Structure 1
Amino acid sequence: MIRNEKGFSYPLTFCVLLLAFVVLSIHFELYISEKRIIKESVTMLKQEYYFLSAMQWTEELFLQEDHGEVSGVYSFSDGEVSYHSVKVADSLYRVTFNLAMKNLPEITGFGYYDKELKKMIKWNEKN
């Protein structure tokens, strides 16, 4: 009975193929997950870069302008940031930034600019 090998190769081959299929499907799922995470990370970094650039350009605009309240739109390759400032106190302005990117919901950020310090002193994002 020990030397009888009839029917032994089929179950062994099936188990090896099944094991290979499971290992490959796990690797494929990891690959897909990594691609999704990379795409989301790139989108988040672009959003942060667009907000930072808009904030810096608005600071420069405040330094150049004398009357204070400014508004406009900054265009980027994958979206645009619109901004509008409102005077809150004598030397404090609240600047509202609205980021609109392709196929994504609009994000709003608020920056507070101090004329005496000549810089943005606070930043809030509303999702």
Structure 2
Amino acid sequence: MSDALVWQVIRNNNAFLRTQRGIGKRFSTEKFNLKKVNSPKYSGLANKHAIDVSAAAAKGVVVSTKNEKGRPAKAVTTSTLSKTPVASVRSLAKNTGFNKFHKLAQRRAAAYVRAQVKKPKVSKADA
């Protein structure tokens, strides 16, 4: 099935759609949707090629890529990037190539890595 046909079927009716009061947009919580917006460009269900970036259990970032293969069990590959923050983002950029999701994946990975860095505590006596 083509991506456009799949999108026509799922665009108004799937389990991942969410609405928020006061906002006209519809959001999506599906796995391979980097921007979390219900649109054909970012849909992980409708597109054959997609990238997902999520936080690892301990430290680092988990990158999942979806490829076009006949076997659904082999279509998704995951890798964990647990290097330094700059090296993790650089490695993600090299692995994803320069496709349409390149910048979104980098920004999401940088945000996860930045949130995992421990910040030094400043006591009141030092301030």
Q: TM-score range by the shorter chain?
A: under 0.3
* Larger RCO, structure (CA 8 Å, separation 6 or more): 2
Structure with greater helix percent: 1
| Larger CA Rg, structure 1 vs 2 | 1
